[in-house]
Each structure stands twice: as C-alpha cells, then as structure tokens.
Structure 1
Amino acid sequence: MTIVVFGARGSVGRQVLSGLQAAGKPVRAASRQPSGAFGSEVETVVADLERPETLDRALTGATGAFLYAHPAGIDSFVATARRAGVGRVALLSSALVTRPGAEHSPIARRHRTVEEALGRSDLDWTFVRGGMFARNTIGLWSRSIRTEGKVRLPYPDAHSAPVHEADLAALAVTALTAEGHGGKAYTLWGPESIALREQVAAIAAALGRPIAVEVVPEQVAQAEMAQSMPDFAVTAILRTWAAAGDRPVEISSLIPQILGRPARTFADWAIDHADDFR
C-alpha cells in the first residue's frame, strides 16, 4: 500500500508527503538528494525521474505515486510503474495546458507531454493542474520586500487567482487515497480574484508593516524578475498579468466541492509564509 512521492522536497511534494502520513498511508519519499530531510520514520530513496536506473528501487512494492512533470523521464516512469504494479498516479500539471495558444508555451508543452504519456498508459491517473501559484511571489517579491520595503510592478491592478500549494497537495492526496478520481483532470485556481497590489497588501498585513508598490515599465520588471526565475517563466507571468488587466479572473470551487472545506485564500497563504518575506 506504499505511495511514492517524487520530488518530496518540493513545495507541493512535501505537503503531499505529510498529507499522506496524516491519512495513515505508508509513504516513500523519493528525491534526488534525500539527505535525511524527511525524518527517520519516513522511508527514503534516491530517485530521479530523468534517470531510469533509479526508478525500480523507488517503485518496487508501491501502489501509488505522486510526481511532477519531467518529460524526459516519463516513458521510463510509465514502464517501470506498470512492471511494479503501481495503480494510481497523481500528476502535478499546469493550468496552462487548457489555455488558448498552449502549443506555444514551453511550460504548457512540458506538462502536456507528460499528461499524454500517462493518458496513453493503463495507469489510473489524475491530473492536478495548478493555476498561478501563490508561492511565485516569494521569488518575485521577497528580495525587494526584505531589503527595500517595496514591490515594483508593471501592472499593479492586474488580477490573478493565486492557489495555495497546500490545496494542490490536498487534492493530490485525495486523488491517491479516495475512489472516483481516476481519469480526471482538475484545474485548480485560487478561491478569489485579487489584484497584485492587494496581494502586496496581504503580505504587508501578515508582516505587520507597510510595503510600497512602485509602478515601473514592463522591461524594468522583466529584468528584475529574471534574477529569480527562467526567462520563459518571466515571459509567461508578464503575459498573464498584461492580459488580465483590472478585470476579475477565473477562480475555482473545486476544493469545497471535493474536500468539503473552504479553499485557502491569498491572505491565508501570506500568513503561512510571512517568514519568507522577513
């Protein structure tokens, strides 16, 4: 009954691991560098989805697996999982695969490749397609908040619906432990459409001190964002902000529908991650 969590050190993976433990499920943490990070009570194994020779040990005796999208290793994963008798697989995918022009997005293509490989298999798969991660704001804004007490934005009134990584993890845990989720793709946005300047205000409230918003040209923001994330990710985020404008964007009601509780808001996320901005 062991469930393997690949990328168990990741922001979503580690919450999937703890969620499965809380549900009383035997777990195996798979990571490129486990280094005892999961505690003595968690079985750990060195595994890399892009190194097929590491997968047998990770999947032997497992009945389920959580994984991130790694196109280079997905065919080996599918073959090894079938040999090992793995039944359920929950994939952390991206909402970008559902958007117009997805074929032109490197992020969407990456996730679509993995979805298609799992879809061709006889594994019992569930896709958890995350929208805009609230956690992106750590990479985007934490340095300037810590050092200058400000955030530079080209589109301060642009809306997004940030999703808490804990909600993505909870949905994946449910897909791996409850019936009725096989063959389904869940696109998960946050529960509220909130302007970027309001997100900054939520972080300020969590910190208990003001944070200024400085409006800058897109090229200035692009150069600053490129210091903390790849160019393709910067381009995707800026395009999303520009397209959103000051109009409300799509939100999700999946968490209350499936889990029977409210989804976590951005203000909840800001409180949970206040230390990342101090």
Structure 2
Amino acid sequence: MILVTGATGNVGRHLVGELLTAGAKVRALTRDPATARLPGDAEVARTADMPLDGITSVFLNPAVFWTGLDDLLARAAEHGVRRVVLLSSASTLDDDPANTLAAHHLEFEQAIEDSGMEWTFTRPGEFATNTLGWRDAIRAGTAVREPYAAARTTPIHERDIAAVAAKALLTDGLVGAKPVLTGPETLTQPDMVRIIGEAIGRPARFAEIAPEDARAEMLSRPYMSEGVVNVLLHLRAKSIVEPPEPSPEVERITGRPARMFKEWAADHAGDFS
C-alpha cells in the first residue's frame, strides 16, 4: 500500500487519482477526513494519526512535516517502508547560502538518503498554482501587482508533478533520481496574466511595482517570513539575467509533453471568474 501525505493538496489529490487508476492501494492522509472529498477507493486517515501498518512506499509532502522528519523516518523504517518519494524543490539547485528554502529541502533530502530507504526527489520549479494568489485581483478587474515584470519562469501544472511522482512510486526507474520538473515554456508574469484573461474570456491586467513595495506586501501575509520573502525576490530578480530553461524530464518520464500554462489556465478558469 502507498501512503500519500498532503493528499488534499494541489499535487496530492491528483497523485491519489493517478495511483488508484493504476490499480494501487492508497492510504491518503489529510487533517480532516470528513471534508477530504477523496475517491471512495482510497483509504482516508488523519495526518495526526500517521498509520504506517502495511505501507511499502510513502509520498512525502514536506509542508506537512515542516519541523522535521526524524520521527517519521524512524517509524517508517520500523514498519518496513521500502521507498520514499519526496516533493522537493528546484530551489535546491541555487548555490546562494542565504536561500533558506533550498537549505530546508536539502536537509529533508539528506535525512531521507541517510535513512537507508530507496528514494526519489522530485524537484519542481515554480508551480502554476502560485498564480492563484492573483485571483482576487483578476476577479475584481484590478491589476495584478508584482515586481520584476521581465522576470521569467517555467510554471508547471500540478498534474504533471503528480504523474512523475506516480511513476516514482509504482516503478523502479527513478530510484535514486532527482529530476528537475518544469513546464514546457518560459513565461513572464505579464504573459501569465494575459493567458489567464484569455482562459476566462476577459482581459486581465498586470502592473509592475517596486521590489520594496512587494516586500512590504508579502511580509504582511501571516505565512510569509522575512527569509522566505528574501529568497523569492532574489530568485525573481535573478531570473531576469539568468532565465530558467524548460526541463525535458516530465516528457521523458511520463512519455507525454508537459502541459502548457494555457492548459492550466483553462483547468482553473473557474478560480478566476
């Protein structure tokens, strides 16, 4: 049986579906099983209970275990878990010692390597779902306000991350691999705003703001620390002079091209309407 943590998250929900379609038995963890709305074929359990009996492989979303993995990995080994697939991050490729996001994910990766279990670290770049933070502005018809209009990114559809994770859990071809996952195109934020507007059938606007104004706005959010804000602004500015290259890994691993951002926008048009 495969354990999926963060099963109601952007990636986890699609991963549960991928695994069930492939005929796997799935135990899906969520904070509140009563409101999870997961497929009936999945066994749903509370994250706080963390039942590991009968589990052979684990999909690990680090957001669920932000304070550390030691207890979970020790218990997993005791229960005979053979493989861990981690939702890591392409930020691990950044060599800036001030990148706290990279350091945190690398710490998780190292702990899993040291556990002695088989592992795969999926390293997605920017999630297309990050643009859901624009929905209030787009719904209201006001401009999306962000710094660094010329910054470029390779937004990846969460379904593609889930498809790669499913391959890593169901087959042996990705054991010991650290695939960097991206969408198939390089886009600016104004590009993505325009594409969302096309998906919902009305124009959406972008307005560039100063990095200092963006910093103040980001720090006002309860889940944003100064370290995270610094990293995000640093990576955004860096991508102007060192734009990211789309990775071929989604297509290589799944056998089909990664989804374009316009496909993501069409799938999520209801979130912006």
TM-score, with length taken from structure 1: 0.90
Residue 60 (structure 2) pairs with residue 43 (structure 1)? no
Identify the residue that residue 157 of structure 2 maps to in structure 1.
164
1:184-203 superposed matches below 5 A: 184-203=177-196
Letter of the 2:153 partner, please give it.
S
8 Å contact from structure 2 (residues 14, 162) kept in 1: yes
Deviations 1:4-25 (CA, angstroms, capped at 9, x unpaired): 1011111111111111011110
Amino acid at match of 1:195: T
Residue 83 and residue 73 in structure 1: after superposition, are their counterparts in 2 closer, same or farther (change >3 A)?
A: same
- In the alignment, the residues of structure 2 paired with residue 100 and residue 118 of structure 1 have an alpha-carbon distance, to the nearest angstrom, of 21
How far off is 1:94 after superposition? 0.9
Partners of 2:182 and 2:250 within 8 A in 1: no
- Structure 2 Cα separation of the partners of residues 83 and 203 of structure 1: 47
Shift of 1:95: 0.9
Report the counterpart of residue 241 of structure 1 in structure 2. Answer: 236
Map of 1:56-135 to 2, 5 A cutoff? 58-69=51-62, 70=65, 72-101=67-96, 103-135=97-129
8 Å CA contact 2:100, 2:231 repeated in 1: no
Amino acid at match of 1:258: I
Determine the structure 2 residue equivalent to 1:51: none
Bigger strand share: 1
Runs of 5+ consecutive residues of structure 2 not aligned to the other structure: none
Match of 2:15 in 1: 16
SS in 1 for 2:73: helix
Q: Where does the alignment leave 5 or more consecutive residues of structure 1 unmatched?
A: 49-53
The residue type paired with residue 110 of structure 2 is: E
* 8 A contact 1:59–1:84 mirrored in 2: yes
Deviation readout 1:44-98 (Å, 9 max, x if unpaired): 11124xxxxx33xx21101111011225341111111111111121100011111
1:219, distance to aligned residue in structure 2 (A): 2.2
Counterparts of 1:21 and 1:227, CA distance in 2: 40
- Supply the RMSD in Å over aligned alpha carbons: 1.7
Q: 1:153: which partner in 2?
A: 146
Report the count of equivalent residues. 268
- State the AA in 2 paired with 1:33: D
Show CA shifts across 1:138-193 (max 9, x none).
12x11211123321232222111111111111110000001221111111122111
